[in-house]
Amino acid sequence: MRMKTPSINFMVARKIAGWISIGAVIGSVALIALIGLSFGLDFTGGSLVELEFATEPALETVRETLVIAGFPDAVVQAFGAPTDVLIRLAQDNAPKAGDVVFAALQAAGFEVELLRSEFVGSAVGEELREQGGLGLLLALGVVMLYVAFRFQFKFSVGAVVALIHDVLIVLGIFALFGLDFDLTVLAAVLAVIGYSLNDSIVVSDRIRENFRIMRTNDPLKVMNDSINQTLSRTLATSMTTLIVLLALLFLGGELIHNFALALTIGVAVGTYSSIYVVTGVLLMMKISRDDLLVPEKEQEIDDRP
Amino acid sequence: MIVSLVFGTLYGLPNGFPDDPAVQITSNRSTELLSEFDAIRAEDALKEAGIATIALDFDGSQALIRFDSIETQIKAKGVIQAALGSDFIVALNLAPKTPEWLQAIGANPMKLGLDLRGGVHFLMEVDLRAAVSQRLDAYASEIKQMLRQERIRFRSVDVKPGGEIEIRFLNTETRAQGVERIRTEYSGAFAYREADRDGAAFISLLLAEGEQANIEDYAVSQNLTTLRNRVNELGVSEPLVQRQGRNRIVVELPGVQDTATAKRVLGATANLEFRLEALPDTPVRETQQFKFRAEDRIAQLERDIITTGNSVSDARSSFDENGMPQVNINLDASGGRRMADVTKTSVGRRMAVIFIESRTRNEIDRQTGEIMQVRYKEQGIISLATIQAVLGNQFRITGLDNARESSELALLLRAGALAAPIYFVEERTIGPSLGAENIERGLNSVIIGFVLVMCFMIAFYKGFGVIANLALAVNLVLLIAIMSLFQAVLTLPGIAGIVLTVGMAVDANVLIFSRIREERMRGLADPQAIRVGFERAFVTILDSNITTLLVAIILAGIGSGPVKGFAITLAIGICTSLFTATLVTRLTVEGLFSHRHLPKWAL
């Protein structure tokens, strides 16, 4: 496949892209505020039992059995395979609730096997929530510092705005569809930060280089050329990452389904944001050649014919 | 490059050998080791039951019998336990099949996390307030005893709710004597505050600065030891018992199926107290009323405790001549001495054995309507018997409900009591079948992701794609080798981390190849384009990987369990992919094309 550097005029659509991004972010914030994230067991505390039935059970019967056993608030749902059932119990049940549920169903004549049972105390849930939020802020802070140190302040604002954009949209989609937000999803969101940054840096790196070597001082042209030059790399990396994520999404099983989903959305959005959000912010902050005048070490290499 | 390949292959290799299900036998008594004879007895019992074994390894202190399937392993455990009796711990285990020459160079397979092999994870919280108040109670009891022995007269020793011990002396002289004595005995433990009121001399002992932290710390580490002992008694191989933070303890029991028993034994706070029955003329403040556990009856006992289950050095359950369960108890030296001292002067009086257990119950808060867990202590007399003769350090107790209770009590006394009550704050159980399923799914996604990425790379970059794939394969091998070498725990999110690494690792190669293409288009000769391409891409690769690495490190720092597994894999993956892209890819490309034109198939 012999490819020429494409010359697509990305910047023509930058205003539209800007409005789409702003709309998506506002929409996500609204969704998170109005619907809220459906926090999983890790963050809310409570109990959860996953059982495998020998034959597909009638969920209503399971529910009735649990009401009789003293769990009127039990949520019973199919999980993955039709014979797999997930039962959630609210916080006020003691650690042994999982065992009681299992025993009650066995006593009621169901042929069941315990796949997993989890209990998280409310205090632990609260701590995990705090730790998670802290981790998110810390990651954003450290990343901003690093980019500011390695590049220039305007780039670091661009990169961080792109990160926040990506994270908010992932969270917004999770809120919209009421997907469970648990520890693994949090890990995925943090990984999205890592990935999206990766992309932004590659593009920023090229913008910086082009500002130095191109004769023009027209930021729009510099941006456009930079995006075009990195496009084949951006797409190739996004493709390979998406390929493995889709493999995880479809083959990895229920436990990491949401994890893979969050990453898939994040990578897709991250690819877009490295093209439009980073450049958008840089243009808004009126980036110019003068911002990058301080010569750096790699200048030496760059000046070669 | 060759070094890294050899290293990667050697240390990654053990993961290719699946584990054998096995049963591990060790002796229950610290004084006696398992003998080869016992191991052979176990093997004979298996033969008799018609259970096939693969191999028996005996290494002088423990025996490991391997089986071909999990079902036979579980059956075999029951057979061996029945044949050898309760003096041996029979534990389910997974024995690695790593060849000896690999083990000799320190190559072992990765450890599988609970989500892959099944088992239970508990997070327990130590009740530190209870630890402090128990310690104060013990101090008060000791001080009383000491003052009496020294014949320093006092009215009372009380533990006040604010966390202080108040002693009431008759006058300031005896107080001075008492304080002097306490100071020498407990140097630095207390701060003292004197007060004179109601015509008596009071002294308040407050815990000195740092002392409270010491008590708390001691309680947690003591509980850690006790939990370790209990886990050992349960017969679990490769358990993890670890302190987490100030007041939490993590316990992980791989392969445990019967979580209910595990939870009951680990969390049990059952302990014993031995007290004399109060005499009719004992002052009321010196007595305490106790209920009987089985009957609707009460008894007045002395407040002072002779000794507790903490001084038990050994305990065995058995049956008495009427077939009722009993526990034979050995006290340690100090406990035995106290028991002898007290019973010497009390032959003919009655002594009570009190069974104490902390429990929780749910209560509704009247004001907020929220349901809270309330912790309370349940204590009841299990036996109240006349002291026939001076008791030494060996005796037995009866009055237990059934054989299960007596054997669990014996186990708990042997393993030691918890210094402070613990509560389960988190619990995760993964059944063995889900674990196996997770491994399979994880492996499938790694393989399929890997193959698809390889196809993509070849389609996109042709000959160079093949080189990138070589680098990717080396990367994967290295990643697994490093994880094995550090004995990192592989979890399901960890596998996801590997998959993600596979996807992202090609990025470095992609950056390099794109750059080389560009430089060629700009008119550079091929060898030069290759050199410049590598050089220019390297800075970008470094920048983009360092930021991802930073995020992975933060994730490893704040996360626990599965998230940590993911973060560690991701971090190692970034390092190995940096290494392979810059070294493996570069050496191969330059070795092949540094002096000639790139053929058409190459890029």
A259-283 pLDDT, tens digit each:
999 999 999 999 999 888 988 888 8
**What pLDDT was estimated at residue B316?**
82
Closest alpha carbon within chain B to A250: B445
pLDDT of residue A166 exceeding 90, the answer is yes
Report yes or no on A204 lying in a domain: yes
Percent of chain B with pLDDT over 90: 1
The reply to whether residue A201 touches residue B540, judged by beta carbons under 8 angstroms, is yes
How far is A226 from A236, CA to CA, in rounded Å? 16
**What pLDDT was estimated at residue A304?**
45
Closest alpha carbon within chain A to B263: A96
Percent of chain B with pLDDT over 70: 91
**What pLDDT was estimated at residue A174?**
94
What is the average per-residue pLDDT within B446-467?
88
Structure tokens at A10: 């990305």
What is the average per-residue pLDDT within B484-505?
82
**What pLDDT was estimated at residue A300?**
45
The reply to whether residue B510 touches residue A205, judged by beta carbons under 8 angstroms, is no
The reply to whether residue A247 touches residue B430, judged by beta carbons under 8 angstroms, is no
Per-residue pLDDT of B521-537, as tens digits, reads 888 888 888 888 888 88
Considering only CB atoms, B424 lies closest to which of A119, A245, A304, namely A119
What is the average per-residue pLDDT within A179-202?
85
pLDDT of residue B492 exceeding 80, the answer is yes
What is the average per-residue pLDDT within B210-221?
86
**What pLDDT was estimated at residue A8?**
79
Number of H helices, E strands in chain B: 16, 23
Considering only CB atoms, B502 lies closest to which of A132, A201, A244, namely A244
Architecture of domain B129-212: 2-Layer Sandwich (3.30)
Dihedral angle of Cα B449, B451, B457, B459, to the nearest 10 degrees: -120
Per-residue pLDDT of B537-581, as tens digits, reads 888 888 878 888 888 888 888 776 667 888 888 899 888 888 888
CATH of domain B432-593: 1.20.1640.10
Closest alpha carbon within chain A to B448: A247
**What pLDDT was estimated at residue B68?**
79
The reply to whether residue A255 touches residue B550, judged by beta carbons under 8 angstroms, is no
Query: What is the C-alpha end-to-end distance of chain A, expressed in Å?
Result: 27
Using an 8 Å CB-CB cutoff, list chain B residues near A139: 550-551, 554-555
List, in sequence order, every residue forming a beta bridge with B56; answer none if it has no partner: B65
Q: Last residue of a domain, which of A89, A120, A151? A: A120
pLDDT tier for residue A2 given thresholds of 50, 70 and 90 = very low
Closest alpha carbon within chain A to B506: A237
**What pLDDT was estimated at residue A167?**
92
Closest alpha carbon within chain A to B370: A92
Neighbour-count burial of B545, counting CB atoms closer than 10 A to its CB (0-12 exposed, 13-18 middle, 19+ buried): buried
Structure tokens at B96: 């690695």
pLDDT of residue A251 exceeding 80, the answer is yes
Using an 8 Å CB-CB cutoff, list chain A residues near B508: none
pLDDT of residue B419 exceeding 90, the answer is no
The domain ranges of chain B are 20-95, 129-212, 271-402, 432-593
CA B58 to chain centre: 27
How far is B517 from B198, CA to CA, in rounded Å? 97
> Alpha helices of B391-489 — where are they, by DSSP H?
403-415, 432-485
The reply to whether residue A244 touches residue B445, judged by beta carbons under 8 angstroms, is yes
**What pLDDT was estimated at residue A298?**
47
Using an 8 Å CB-CB cutoff, list chain A residues near B452: 243-244, 247
Ranges A109-118, B216-225, B345-354: which has the least confidence: A109-118
The reply to whether residue B429 touches residue A95, judged by beta carbons under 8 angstroms, is no
Per-residue pLDDT of B61-89, as tens digits, reads 778 888 877 777 777 877 887 777 766 77
- Give chain B's mean pLDDT: 81
Same domain, yes or no: A150 and A271 = yes
> Which DSSP state fits B292?
B
Specify whether the CB–CB gap between B247 and B220 falls below 8 A. Answer: yes
Q: Would you call A58 an interface residue with chain B, using a CB distance cutoff of 8 Å?
A: no
Same domain, yes or no: A106 and A222 = no
pLDDT of residue A29 exceeding 90, the answer is yes
Considering only CB atoms, B427 lies closest to which of A114, A119, A147, namely A119
Q: What is the CATH number of the domain that holds A204?
A: 1.20.1640.10
What is the average per-residue pLDDT within B275-298?
85
The reply to whether residue A243 touches residue B449, judged by beta carbons under 8 angstroms, is yes
Q: Would you call A135 an interface residue with chain B, using a CB distance cutoff of 8 Å?
A: yes
Q: Would you call A52 an interface residue with chain B, using a CB distance cutoff of 8 Å?
A: yes
Q: Which fold has domain B271-402?
A: Gyrase A; domain 2 (3.30.1360)
**What pLDDT was estimated at residue A5?**
67
The secondary element (H helix, E strand) that includes residue B568 is helix B562-579
Sign of the CA dihedral running B587, B592, B598, B603 = negative
- Whether ipTM tops 0.85, in short, is no
* Residue among A72, A158, A73, A85 nearest A116 (CA): A85
Q: Would you call A195 an interface residue with chain B, using a CB distance cutoff of 8 Å?
A: yes
Task: Tell me which residue range forms the domain holding A79.
Answer: 46-120
How far is B137 from B131, CA to CA, in rounded Å? 10
Q: What is the CATH number of the domain that holds A82?
A: 3.30.70.3400
Q: Last residue of a domain, which of A75, A93, A120? A: A120
What percentage of chain B's residues is helix, strand, coil (to nearest 5)?
A: 50, 25, 25
The reply to whether residue A116 touches residue B360, judged by beta carbons under 8 angstroms, is no
Considering only CB atoms, B503 lies closest to which of A190, A230, A245, namely A245
**What pLDDT was estimated at residue B345?**
86
What is the average per-residue pLDDT within B274-292?
86
Q: Last residue of a domain, which of A120, A145, A173? A: A120
Report yes or no on A300 lying in a domain: no
pLDDT of residue B181 exceeding 80, the answer is yes
* Residue among A277, A257, A259 nearest A269 (CA): A277
Residue the block writes with tokens 């740092």: B210
The reply to whether residue B431 touches residue A124, judged by beta carbons under 8 angstroms, is no
What is the average per-residue pLDDT within B33-47?
80
How far is B92 from B88, CA to CA, in rounded Å? 13
DSSP string, A280-305: HHHHHTT--GGGG-S--TTHHHHT--
Question: How close does chain B come to A26, measured CA to CA in Å?
Answer: 26
| Residues shown for chain A | 305
User: Per DSSP, which regions of B175-239 are E strands?
Assistant: 190-197, 200-207
How far is B417 from B484, CA to CA, in rounded Å? 37
The reply to whether residue B431 touches residue A113, judged by beta carbons under 8 angstroms, is yes
Query: What is the C-alpha end-to-end distance of chain B, expressed in Å?
Result: 23
How far is A205 from B166, CA to CA, in rounded Å? 72
Question: How close does chain B come to A165, measured CA to CA in Å?
Answer: 17
Q: Can you give the pTM of this predicted structure? A: 0.76
* Residue among B54, B24, B49 nearest B38 (CA): B24
The reply to whether residue B563 touches residue A187, judged by beta carbons under 8 angstroms, is yes
Closest alpha carbon within chain B to A194: B548
The reply to whether residue B554 touches residue A142, judged by beta carbons under 8 angstroms, is yes
Specify whether the CB–CB gap between A199 and A271 falls below 8 A. Answer: yes
Same domain, yes or no: A195 and A258 = yes
**What pLDDT was estimated at residue B236?**
75
Which residues have a Cβ under 8 Å from the Cβ of B122 and sit 6 or more positions away? Answer: B250, B251, B252, B253, B263, B266, B424, B426, B427
The reply to whether residue B521 touches residue A245, judged by beta carbons under 8 angstroms, is no
pLDDT of residue B305 exceeding 70, the answer is yes
- Give chain A's mean pLDDT: 83
**What pLDDT was estimated at residue A302?**
47
Per-residue pLDDT of A45-91, as tens digits, reads 888 888 888 888 888 888 888 888 878 778 888 887 778 888 888 76
Same domain, yes or no: A154 and A277 = yes
Position with higher pLDDT, B59 vs A50 = A50
Report yes or no on A177 lying in a domain: yes
Report yes or no on A196 lying in a domain: yes
Position with higher pLDDT, A93 vs B430 = B430
**What pLDDT was estimated at residue A263?**
92
**What pLDDT was estimated at residue A303?**
46
Q: Would you call A271 an interface residue with chain B, using a CB distance cutoff of 8 Å?
A: no
Backbone angles phi, psi at B368, to 5 degrees: -95, -15
How many other C-beta atoms lie within 10 A of the C-beta of residue B595? 8
Sign of the CA dihedral running B512, B517, B522, B526 = positive
Using an 8 Å CB-CB cutoff, list chain A residues near B492: 252-253, 255-256
Same domain, yes or no: A129 and A180 = yes
The reply to whether residue B263 touches residue A98, judged by beta carbons under 8 angstroms, is no
Specify whether the CB–CB gap between B186 and B142 falls below 8 A. Answer: no
**What pLDDT was estimated at residue B546?**
84
Options 3.30.70.260, 3.40.630.30, 3.90.1150.10, 3.60.70.12; CATH of B20-95: 3.30.70.260
Specify whether the CB–CB gap between B595 and B527 falls below 8 A. Answer: yes
**What pLDDT was estimated at residue A165?**
93
The answer for A 6-45 residues in CB contact with B (under 8 A) is none
Same domain, yes or no: A164 and A107 = no
Count structural domains, chain A.
Answer: 2
Measuring CA to CA, how many Å separate A293 from each of A145, A201, A288, A290, A299? 20, 19, 9, 5, 11
Question: How close does chain B come to A146, measured CA to CA in Å?
Answer: 7
| Residues shown for chain B | 603
Specify whether the CB–CB gap between A177 and A257 falls below 8 A. Answer: no
Position with higher pLDDT, A60 vs A95 = A60
Mutate to test the interface with A, among B117, B433, B434 (most CBs of A within 10 A): B434
Same domain, yes or no: A261 and A136 = yes
Instruction: Establish whether domains B20-95 and B129-212 are of one fold.
Output: yes
The reply to whether residue A237 touches residue B506, judged by beta carbons under 8 angstroms, is yes
pLDDT of residue B182 exceeding 60, the answer is yes
**Would strands A75-79 and A81-89 be described as parallel, antiparallel, or unpaired?**
antiparallel
Report yes or no on A104 lying in a domain: yes
Ranges B19-23, B158-162, B282-286, B324-328: which has the least confidence: B19-23
Report yes or no on A2 lying in a domain: no
Considering only CB atoms, B362 lies closest to which of A94, A142, A184, namely A94
